[in-house]
A and B are shown apart, each in its own frame.
Chain A
Amino acid sequence: MRDAGEAVRAAYPQALATLTRVLGSLDAAGDALHVAVERALVRWPQEFPSNAVAWLVATARNHAIDQVRRQVVHDRFVNAEALAARPAPSADDGLAPHLRDDMLRLIFTCCHPRLSPDSQVSLTLRTVVGLTVHEIARAYLVSPSSMERRLTRARIALREAKIPYEVPTADELPSRLAAACAVVVSLFDQGYTYPADADHLRPELCNLAIRLARLLARMFPHDAEVAGMLALLLLQHARTAARTSADGAFVSLEDQDRSAWDQTMIREGRALIQRALFRDDLGPYQLQGAIAATHCAAATFEATAWGEIATLYGLLHDYRPTATVALNRCVAVAKAQGAAAGLAELEALPAEHLSRLELQHRYFAVRGHLLEELGQIALAREAFAEAAALRPGPVEREYLEAKLRALRSQ
């Protein structure tokens, strides 16, 4: 026997996407679908529909028409008739012809750049992925009521910004698709980045992000950057199990047990990146994916193709001229050509990169390492002390202080 709850959940995003088009707004669609879902949970255990999406859409649509008829006695009676006159989705073919466009409208509405990044991510999870408020709240480690408030704010923002429910035009599409990719990546990063205020990763956010990335890749199978974004997420998430030790501490790339990496994800990610490099139609996600693929291809940390990684960071810097990218390139140069070459690159960093305070502790930590390697212990100590004074996160502070103790005894 199939589980009605599971079936409802699987059909929810597609039904919502279609209903939003049919009823004209996300709010109306959400309300009508709510009623249909409740009926489905009662009805389906007795009799399963042949097409779950079509059943939900038809039930919700009929409910919405009833509502309009009930509320409006005379003049707006026309609206109900107009609504009823729209072609009903056919029950037999899974709404296939409309579905792709409906899902796209939903994604592009939720990932609209005029909404705040927080709103974009939570709206996407609620409507595109079809998670319940409780599930999103759990993933974000907040209470369901505060997540409900966040979603309400997002819906109000959506209404007030008068964001049209439509697929962007061809000339808008690249930038809007990039915005949708950014939502997916930001969701992933929230699960993957070691949080300063929590002591564990949230792989469920990473899994959700990968689900969304696949959805985009299926809808835009000819877009190299969407494929690059999916590859990047797969190649990072493949290493998740190795990033945390048995006692919950962060394990750096250098010390990870590479046999714990997920080879299925690595295979798929590398296949996508190989195609990207062959096609030579590069972009920032493909380059970041290529860097991750190079790490995943190395049997040991020492065997990493650092020269290639330095080149890739150099190319990435053309697209993303950030301090992090520049600093990572210096590290790769140092690994490939030695500490002196790395230090020269580090000292040649443009001044505007160094003014980014949040990265200064990393800058001084890298500098300390390179100086230590070159035997300039006094200068190395100075750099580590500067790094420690810049208020890094607790894990890094502990590391830097241990480093300083070790250097003092030299």
Chain B
Amino acid sequence: MLYAILIHQPPGAVDHLTPEEQAALLADHRALQDEAKSRGTFVAATQLMEAYSATSVRRRGDKISIEEGPFAETKEMFIGLYILNCETLEEALEFSKRIPHADYGTIEVRPVEYHEDSAGPFAQ
């Protein structure tokens, strides 16, 4: 089963960390990715730029609007995701508990309905 592990956190939640702490946070992610790769569960990892860089597209009837900004201003913003191929939900949750952003926001684990591997620019 594929699981999407969606990382949400309040904007700026890690801003107060020192550069060393920021680097440690990234290193934690790298270590998690390496572990998932060696277990064979790793499918994809993506980090998004901040929500203010978003462009929102809506079509209503034949009218298309394109606006600056995210679709909604919420307390926690979607900042990135992992896709893992796990045997069980438990395995995906074990991984999620160790994501450093769990300290600052919420990690949402959702089963994937459909995934196509494009082997695009981010393929490892």
Q: Which residues of A approach B to under 8 Å, CB–CB?
A: 6, 9-10, 94, 96, 211, 214-215, 217-218, 220-224, 226-227, 230, 267-268, 271-272, 275, 278-279
Bound CA span A222–B10, Å: 17
Contacts of A224 in B (CB 8 A): 68
> Which of B16, B53, B69, B75 meets A96, CB within 8 Å?
B75
Contacts of A9 in B (CB 8 A): 16
Q: A96-B75, A227-B68, A275-B68 are in contact. Are A218 and B52 (CB under 8 A)?
A: yes
- For chain B, which range describes its interface: under 10, 10 to 19, 20 to 34, or 35 or more residues? 10 to 19
Does more than half of chain B's interface fall in helix, strand or loop, or is it mixed? Answer: loop
> Which of A6, A96, A279 meets B68, CB within 8 Å?
A279
Bound CA span A279–B69, Å: 12
Q: Which residue of A lies closest to B21 (CB)?
A: A6
> CB distance B50 to A214 under 8 Å?
yes
Query: 6 closest pairs, A vs B, by CB?
Result: A10-B16, A222-B69, A221-B69, A221-B52, A217-B52, A218-B11
Q: A221-B73, A222-B68 are in contact. Are A272 and B12 (CB under 8 A)?
A: no
> Which of A94, A218, A272 meets B51, CB within 8 Å?
A218
Contacts of B54 in A (CB 8 A): 221
Listed by A's residue number, 8 A-B pairs whose Cβ atoms lie within 8 Å are: A6-B16, A214-B50, A217-B52, A221-B51, A221-B52, A223-B68, A226-B52, A279-B68
**Which chain B residues numbered 39 to 60 have a C-beta less than 8 Å away from chain A?**
49-55
Q: Which residues of B approach A to under 8 Å, CB–CB?
A: 10-12, 15-16, 49-55, 66-70, 73, 75
Q: A215-B12, A221-B70, A227-B68 are in contact. Are A268 and B51 (CB under 8 A)?
A: no
Bound CA span A271–B48, Å: 12
> CB distance B55 to A275 under 8 Å?
yes
Bound CA span A320–B114, Å: 51
> CB distance B67 to A217 under 8 Å?
no
Q: A227-B68, A272-B53, A279-B68 are in contact. Are A218 and B12 (CB under 8 A)?
A: yes
* Residue among B16, B50, B52, B54 having the largest count of chain A Cβ atoms under 10 Å: B52
Bound CA span A224–B53, Å: 10
Bound CA span A275–B57, Å: 12
Nearest-neighbour CB distance to chain B for A304, whole angstroms, equals 25
Contacts of B12 in A (CB 8 A): 214-215, 218
Nearest-neighbour CB distance to chain A for B94, whole angstroms, equals 25
> Which of A94, A211, A218, A223 meets B50, CB within 8 Å?
A218
| Apart from the given pairs A211-B15, A279-B55, 15 other A-B contacts in the complex at a CB distance below 8 Å | A214-B12, A214-B50, A214-B52, A218-B11, A218-B50, A221-B51, A221-B68, A221-B73, A267-B49, A268-B50, A271-B49, A275-B55, A275-B68, A278-B55, A279-B68
Bound CA span A267–B15, Å: 19
Contacts of A10 in B (CB 8 A): 16
> CB distance B50 to A275 under 8 Å?
no
Contacts of A230 in B (CB 8 A): 52
